[in-house]
């Protein structure tokens, strides 16, 4: 099919937004060099189609600048290089966040500067400042305010500063980005919770988390879990190997998760780069379907400042894994466990059915439908199909789907097995006599594009 085309109903790229995370190997107290690494990373990500890019916390100075942060020469250099980086990327249609320590009214804050097309759209400070274990941030950094006020940064006036900020795309309102920094996600009440309830569908976290045995697994579970809980994309990146010391090792880690699924990742001491298409439209859909997910009418009603930016979405190859068997786990061990559980659930469901009807015996009827099922399986899960074949079968599916809804009323009772089902008790409330013209027209429009 055409690569993520604009929908015939006007939704850019059908709601897919490429999100990237980058962990440069920064150098301590060398903002010019680190800014150059960020520039190179942005160029790479932009060539791959990225529209949202996140860098680690305080990447312009490195996380281990320690007491050098007391020196104005380092802070001023970092702010100056931020300005140069923003100027040099004015031609890139990419919303990016870069970690930078900023001195504001005499206090130092651990912040991310959110930038787009030559402008600093906002500065978001870290809320929770860790001063335990291997972290001593409270020695240098002050917890950032929630309330948003204007400051001057890198020569740009009236830049919003505060943690209660979201950034929304005018052309694709489903793309609403919020930010938290490292320790924030580890806290009992991460800022990302309220960001999501203010409307953010993409949460970016620039971090500087040290490496230790199994910590990468814990982080991955935490990030994927947060993306599921908040029905969002959570894009996480930790600082690269340049932030290692003689007693603490840092190796970077990239995780891009969407509603509980990890779309892309790079392990510690790996490439330090990850990119994936995030389906922000499906995230809106998931929130619409969950009555307990209460989002404010707008960010302002939730106490958040909203900055709107303009962005184009050219066509690009889809950058995310797509399984031909979405309801079948790819991992053999997990698949076996799921099959065992499904069989047990069905057996207990049948047991309850028999018990409540006082049955003492059952009769099993068997029918040989293997040939037909095999033919469908080959068609559905073959390795290669033309665009026209895929769309033609999609059209056939929509036609059958809408035409046969009345048959659902003939389905026997049965327990819910997976995350999708066709039973009313399963949450599936498809109208029996709905018309499929809108969906069929959509497929016809795509078929017409192929014929052009």
What is the DSSP code (8-state) at residue 188? S
Which of these is catalytic: 38, 115, 126, 281? 126
* Residue 87 known to be catalytic: no
- DSSP E strand boundaries for 280-370: 305-309
Catalytic annotation on 169?
A: no
- Assess contact for 60 and 81: CB atoms under 8 A: yes
| Angle made by CA atoms 104, 106, 109, in degrees to the nearest 5 | 50
3-state DSSP helix/strand/coil % of the chain, to nearest 5: 35, 20, 40
* 8 Å CB contact between 16 and 277: yes
**Active site includes 182?**
yes
Q: Catalytic residue, from 38, 51, 57, 232: name it.
A: 57
Query: Which residues, in sequence order, are CB contacts of 167 under 8 Å at separation 6+?
Result: 95, 114, 121, 122, 176, 177, 178, 306, 307, 308, 309
Phi first, then psi: give them for residue 316, nearest 5 degrees.
Answer: -155, 155
Residue among 127, 125, 253, 110 nearest 190 (CA): 127
Residue of 182, 204, 232, 237 marked active site? 182
Q: Which stretch of DSSP H or E encloses residue 275?
A: strand 273-279
| Alpha carbon distance 165, 368 (integer Å) | 60
Catalytic residues: 57, 126, 182
């Amino acid at each position: 099919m055409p690569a993520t085309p604009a929908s015939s109903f006007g939704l850019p790229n059908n709601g897919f937004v490429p999100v990237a995370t980058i962990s440069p190997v920064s150098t301590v107290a060398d903002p010019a060099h680190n800014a150059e690494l960020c520039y190179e990373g942005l160029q790479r990500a932009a060539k791959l189609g990225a529209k949202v890019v996140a860098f680690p916390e305080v990447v312009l100075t490195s996380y281990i600048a320690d007491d050098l942060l007391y020196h104005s020469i380092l802070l001023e250099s970092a702010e100056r290089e931020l300005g140069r980086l923003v100027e040099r990327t004015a031609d890139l249609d990419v919303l990016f966040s870069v970690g930078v320590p900023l001195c504001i009214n005499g206090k130092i804050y651990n912040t991310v500067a959110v930038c787009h097309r030559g402008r600093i759209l906002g500065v978001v400070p870290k809320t929770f400042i860790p001063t335990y274990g291997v972290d001593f941030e409270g020695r240098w950094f002050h917890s950032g305010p929630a309330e948003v006020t204007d400051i001057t940064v890198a020569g740009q006036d009236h830049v919003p500063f505060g943690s209660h900020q979201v950034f929304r795309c005018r052309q694709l309102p489903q793309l609403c980005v919020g930010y938290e920094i490292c320790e924030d996600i580890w806290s009992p009440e991460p800022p990302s919770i309220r960001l999501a309830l203010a409307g953010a569908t993409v949460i970016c976290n620039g971090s500087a988390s040290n490496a230790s045995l199994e910590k990468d697994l814990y982080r991955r579970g935490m990030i994927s879990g947060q993306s599921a809980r908040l029905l969002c994309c959570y894009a996480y990146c930790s600082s690269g190997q340049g932030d290692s010391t003689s007693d603490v090792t840092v190796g970077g880690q990239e995780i891009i998760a969407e509603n509980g699924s990890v779309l892309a990742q790079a392990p510690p001491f790996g490439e330090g780069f990850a990119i994936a298409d995030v389906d922000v439209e499906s995230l809106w859909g998931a929130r619409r379907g969950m009555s307990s997910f209460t989002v404010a009418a707008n960010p302002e009603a939730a106490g958040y400042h909203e900055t709107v930016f303009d962005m184009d979405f050219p066509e690009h190859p889809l950058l995310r894994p797509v399984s031909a068997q979405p309801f079948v786990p790819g991992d053999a061990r997990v698949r076996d466990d799921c099959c065992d559980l499904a069989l047990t659930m069905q057996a207990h469901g049948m047991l309850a059915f028999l018990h409540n009807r006082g049955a003492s015996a059952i009769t099993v009827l068997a029918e040989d439908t293997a040939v037909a099922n095999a033919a469908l399986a080959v068609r559905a899960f073959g390795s290669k199909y033309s665009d026209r074949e895929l769309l033609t079968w999609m059209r056939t599916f929509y036609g059958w789907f809408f035409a046969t809804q009345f048959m659902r009323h003939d389905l026997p009772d049965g327990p819910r097995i997976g995350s999708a089902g066709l039973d009313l008790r399963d949450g599936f409330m498809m109208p029996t006599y709905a018309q499929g013209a809108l969906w069929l027209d959509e497929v016809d429009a795509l078929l017409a594009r192929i014929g052009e």
